[in-house]
Amino acid sequence: MKVWRLARTPWAPDVDTILNGEGALRRGGRWSSAGMRAVYCSETSSLALLEVLVGLPFGVNHLAYRILDLTVPDDSIAHLDVEPAATDSQSLGAAALGRHLAIAVPSVVNPLEKNVVINPMHPRFDRVKPGLLRSFELDPWLR
């Protein structure tokens, strides 16, 4: 499965940094608690952008970004068909990431699409194949 990771340029100087899971380690996320490395991706580049935009204060989307496409083996992704708002998603995600290289979970922003969370500490993490890390600029109309 091809997935996309979008990050602010200061936190994405190279592929290793964008895939180290440091942000989730420090702050946690919907599917992982602080103290656990996780790499949050989306199944489309558009969803990756939407996930970033929804977290920004209005008018603060002039920041520089970088985007990376990744290939994650389909047989290494556990599909969790759950309602993220109705569950203890951090506990559920942490447990699943303890067993699987990656989990596919519904996006809260767009429930018709999925986010993919990767465990960079998993023994099979080397099966995740990065593509091209490139600059990504937001359209000025979004400002």
User: In the structure, what pLDDT confidence band is assigned to residue 54 with cuts at 50, 70 and 90?
Assistant: confident
Using the predicted structure, report yes or no on whether residue 40 has a pLDDT greater than 70.
Answer: yes
Across the chain, what does the average pLDDT equal?
A: 91
So what's the pLDDT on residue 31? 94
143 has a pLDDT exceeding 70: no
Summarised one tens digit per residue, pLDDT across range 102-137 is 999 999 999 999 999 999 999 999 999 999 999 998
pLDDT at residue number 86: 64
In Å, what is the CA distance from 21 to each residue of 25, 46, 61, 88, 137?
A: 6, 21, 23, 21, 23
Domain boundaries, the chain: 2-142
